[in-house]
Amino acid sequence: MQRFLWLIAAVFFYSGAANAQELGKPTGGWETDVSKFVIDMSEIRNIIGPDQIPAIDEPRFQPAADETTIPGNEPVVAFSNNGVTRAYPLRYLMWHEIVNDTVGGLPVAVTFCPLCNTSLVFERTLDGEPVTFGTTGMLRFSNLLMYDRKEQNWWQQYNGEAVVGTRAGEKLRPLPSFLISFDVFLERFPDGEVLLADPSRARSAGINPYVNYDSTPFPFLFDGKLPEDVEPMMRVALVDANLVEGIDDSIAVTLPYLEQNAPFTIDNLEFRWSAGQASALDQRRISDGRDVGNIEVYRTDTEEPELVVYLVTFAFSARSYLPDLEIIQLAQN
């Protein structure tokens, strides 16, 4: 426990907490209407203050083809809209967790929670108006709770649901994105752009403060029920039916299973796996992490394969929100 508390302190230090309190962010008590909620409030853990891990609000980009410092096996979140494609490396998201961006005219929040390995892109609008998001400093089931700076509702990063505040029960619109290596991004999107490091925090880029986290037997800062039929820290590719229209049942497949069986098709969903992506939560330098592979998931009931919203997360995280979820895995000896 002491080791992981030190890790949280390291993220706080390197993230530049002194710059956290900016215009539109909480400077004192929350203005959130905590009388409205859709969860058990005891599930929330208050770890550090709001914006101690600061979101990127003015992202800068360069042509991905001009990037020379990011190793090709490092993971990036890739998102496309209206002819614009951008890569958001986990080497930066590790230390910021949220990037408030506008891609092809669409306001989006690109998010990553290291403790659950969840990366998702959401449309960042409320009632049709753009809003920005920050980190609350709180967790639920080890997952990031975000807040909108307009009304200070608290939103679960795993599924984009407002869990506390006037909009409790509402959901942000999730948008399909890839979690792929930078090499795959360059091959697939040679004219794409890549996020640049925040100059004040560039020294932390490429460093994983959660060394060996994905090799531990149990998650950090987690109070929920752990699965018994699968290793809690097993990576799974998950399509949550609550996040994808037209999908009846949620489906999760372990990455070791996909490594041996991909492409794997079930219920009009094709799961693809390819080698070449380093774990961001293994070694101190992300590029030294073991190969966990690239995951892509497509619908097959359309004229052409269509990318769907998917997560590459840990089994404990998937079961926290989908307790009856069946996880397809290799036969256990």
**One digit per residue, pLDDT tens: the chain, 333 residues?**
445 554 554 454 444 443 433 445 565 589 999 999 999 999 999 999 999 999 999 999 999 999 999 999 999 999 999 999 999 999 999 999 999 999 999 999 999 999 999 999 999 999 999 999 999 999 999 999 999 999 999 999 999 999 999 999 999 999 999 999 999 999 999 999 999 998 877 778 999 999 999 999 999 999 899 999 999 999 999 999 999 999 999 999 999 999 999 999 999 999 999 999 999 999 999 999 999 999 999 999 999 999 999 999 999 999 999 999 999 999 876
Q: Residues for the chain: how many in total?
A: 333
The C-alpha atoms of residue 117 and residue 156 are separated, in whole angstroms, by 14
Could you tell me if 96 and 234 lie in one domain?
A: no
Q: Is residue 153 part of a domain?
A: yes
DSSP 291: B
Show Cβ contacts of residue 100 under 8 Å, excluding neighbours closer than 6 positions: 55, 56, 57, 59, 107, 108, 109, 124, 132, 133
Q: Is residue 186 part of a domain?
A: no
The C-alpha atoms of residue 32 and residue 324 are separated, in whole angstroms, by 32
For residue 311, the model assigns a pLDDT of 98
Could you tell me if 234 and 283 lie in one domain?
A: yes
277: closest CA among 207, 204, 159, 183? 183
Q: Is residue 52 part of a domain?
A: yes
Could you tell me if 130 and 221 lie in one domain?
A: no
For residue 8, the model assigns a pLDDT of 55
Q: Is residue 191 part of a domain?
A: no
Q: Pick from 159, 180, 201: which residue ends a domain? A: 180
DSSP 34: T
Q: Is residue 193 part of a domain?
A: no
Could you tell me if 290 and 175 lie in one domain?
A: no
For residue 203, the model assigns a pLDDT of 76
Could you tell me if 150 and 257 lie in one domain?
A: no
Could you tell me if 169 and 250 lie in one domain?
A: no
Q: Pick from 180, 201, 229: which residue ends a domain? A: 180
Could you tell me if 7 and 147 lie in one domain?
A: yes
Question: What's the total number of domains in the chain?
Answer: 2
Q: Pick from 158, 180, 202: which residue ends a domain? A: 180
Could you tell me if 28 and 173 lie in one domain?
A: yes
For residue 1, the model assigns a pLDDT of 46
As given in the structure block, the two tokens for residue 39 are 């969860």
For residue 14, the model assigns a pLDDT of 41
Neighbour tally for 39: CB within 10 Å: 15
As given in the structure block, the two tokens for residue 111 are 């998010």
Could you tell me if 158 and 110 lie in one domain?
A: yes
The C-alpha atoms of residue 14 and residue 7 are separated, in whole angstroms, by 11
Could you tell me if 321 and 227 lie in one domain?
A: yes
For residue 193, the model assigns a pLDDT of 99
Could you tell me if 37 and 83 lie in one domain?
A: yes
Q: Is residue 192 part of a domain?
A: no
Q: Is residue 323 part of a domain?
A: yes
What ranges in the chain are assigned the alpha helix state H? 2-14, 90-96, 182-188, 255-261, 315-321
Domain that holds residue 11: 2-180
3-class secondary structure for 209-234? CCCCHHHCCCCCCCCCCCCCCCCCCC
